[in-house]
């Protein structure tokens, strides 16, 4: 991205706290769940930023805050340079045409009482796009774009497989020609072979329409295949952000190193050092002082318990929130040769060929 080009999305100091109350009518607030705490990043046009971390770390909450499906406690979200945190309902509705989401569960996100044609035409009707005849034509075009048949527009969601339903969810997101799509773990509920198809479809659509993605996931093999940059999140905060190649080849934060060491290796001859984390993830209701990761970090020192580290530049756009990342010994992690979806299409083709041969 050039210096003069405005990012599609700029997030600065994003915070979300959920009050915890008790009592018969639950009026007494006893504390806050600090789900997102000071998250900052940006996404350029046509770029995919992957947001990764353990379950409950605040990834999906961050995605919903970006779309303003919930209001932030503090912080700034700018879409094409425009602050969206204070927009009224009318302006927010007009903006949402350009910002869409693909949900994790491809069945729960589709209305079972509506046909696929009605599901895809609804966002166009909401935003006043096209005539009724043009919408019908557009629905068939969208189904073709995502690899389904035009005549499928008469069917209901329960008549499709999980992978086909996710294709419908993708088509719905494309219906209003968005610039940014939040992909909230779009393949985690699918079989591995279907995951490869959906990821390849998302990449093809990005190249065809110039889309930007915030790709939320916990599967680092999928992330390695689709992302341009990766942001690692732990207990509501970003601990590392870098280009895909730099992060997988040179992980600096102990938490990132632990995540990468946990990736299963299909080749038993590849040996690596496994980084084991002690204890459980602390509660976001009462996060640790200082560095939030210090309770599980084998490299923690007294400073880590007292002072919260900031995201510091480690060169080449690589930023890390660790006081001692320069002196920490790097484990032998075979990240560069880790699993990738890159060979899945060939494997799938071989599987289909073998299946056809058995049928013959």
Cα distance between residue 359 and residue 289, in whole Å: 62
Cα distance between residue 250 and residue 294, in whole Å: 21
Separation of first and last alpha carbons in the chain = 52
At residue 270, the pLDDT reads 64
Range(s) of the domain holding residue 215: 9-98+178-342
Cα distance between residue 77 and residue 80, in whole Å: 10
At residue 160, the pLDDT reads 94
Helix axis angle for 116-126 and 162-174, nearest 10°, is 20
Tell me whether residue 350 is in a domain: no
DSSP assignment, residue 336? T
At residue 341, the pLDDT reads 45
At residue 28, the pLDDT reads 73
Nearest by Cα to 55 from 338, 323, 284: 284
Tell me whether residue 116 is in a domain: no
Cα distance between residue 70 and residue 82, in whole Å: 18
Tell me whether residue 299 is in a domain: yes
Where the chain has pLDDT below 70, the residues are 1-4, 24-26, 266-273, 332-360
Can you say whether residue 319 is alpha, beta or left, with left for phi > 0 and alpha for psi between -120 and 50 degrees? beta
Cα distance between residue 319 and residue 356, in whole Å: 49
DSSP assignment, residue 329? P
Tell me whether residue 94 is in a domain: yes
The structure's pTM equals 0.86
**CATH code, domain with 189:** 3.40.50.300
Tell me whether residue 158 is in a domain: no
Number of domains in the chain: 1
How far is residue 249 from each of residues 153, 260, 341, measured CA to CA in Å?
Answer: 45, 10, 17
Tell me whether residue 196 is in a domain: yes
At residue 219, the pLDDT reads 84
CB 65 within 8 A of CB 56: no
Tell me whether residue 20 is in a domain: yes
Instruction: Note the pLDDT tens digit of each residue in 100-155.
Output: 999 988 888 899 999 999 999 999 999 989 898 999 999 999 999 999 999 999 99
Tell me whether residue 135 is in a domain: no
At residue 274, the pLDDT reads 76
Nearest by Cα to 274 from 289, 258, 295: 258
**Tokens 């073709």 map to which residue?**
144
Helix axis angle for 192-209 and 162-174, nearest 10°, is 20
């Amino acid at each position: 991205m050039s210096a003069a080009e405005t990012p599609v999305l700029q997030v600065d100091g994003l915070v979300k706290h959920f009050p915890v109350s008790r009592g018969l009518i639950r009026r007494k607030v006893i504390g806050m769940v600090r789900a997102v705490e000071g998250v900052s990043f940006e996404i350029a046009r046509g770029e995919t930023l992957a947001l990764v971390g353990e379950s409950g770390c605040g990834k999906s909450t961050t995605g919903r805050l970006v779309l303003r499906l919930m209001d932030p406690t503090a912080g700034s979200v700018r879409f094409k340079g425009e602050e969206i945190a204070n927009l009224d309902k009318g302006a927010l509705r007009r903006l949402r045409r350009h910002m869409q989401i693909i949900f994790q569960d491809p069945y729960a996100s589709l209305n079972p009482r509506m046909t696929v044609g009605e599901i895809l035409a609804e966002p166009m009707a909401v935003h006043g796009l096209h005539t009724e005849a043009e919408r019908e034509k557009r629905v068939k075009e969208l189904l073709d774009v995502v690899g389904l048949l035009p005549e499928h527009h008469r069917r209901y969601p329960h008549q499709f497989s999980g992978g086909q339903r996710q294709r419908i969810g993708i088509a719905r997101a494309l219906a209003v020609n968005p610039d940014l799509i939040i992909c909230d773990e779009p393949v985690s509920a699918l079989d591995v072979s279907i995951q490869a198809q959906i990821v390849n479809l998302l990449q093809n659509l990005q190249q065809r329409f110039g889309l930007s993605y915030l790709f939320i996931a916990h599967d680092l093999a999928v992330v390695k295949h689709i992302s341009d940059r990766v942001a690692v999140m732990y207990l509501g905060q970003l601990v590392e952000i870098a280009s895909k190649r730099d992060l997988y080849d040179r992980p600096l934060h102990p938490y990132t190193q632990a995540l990468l060491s946990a990736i299963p290796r299909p080749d038993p001859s590849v040996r690596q050092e496994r980084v084991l984390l002690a204890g459980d993830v602390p509660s976001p209701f009462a996060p640790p002082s200082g560095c939030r990761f210090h309770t599980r970090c084998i490299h923690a020192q007294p400073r880590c318990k007292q002072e919260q580290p900031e995201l510091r530049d480690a060169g080449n756009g690589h930023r890390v929130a660790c006081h001692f990342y320069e002196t920490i010994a790097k484990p032998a992690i075979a990240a560069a040769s880790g699993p990738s979806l890159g060979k899945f299409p060939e494997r799938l083709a071989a599987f289909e060929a073998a299946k056809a041969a058995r049928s013959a």
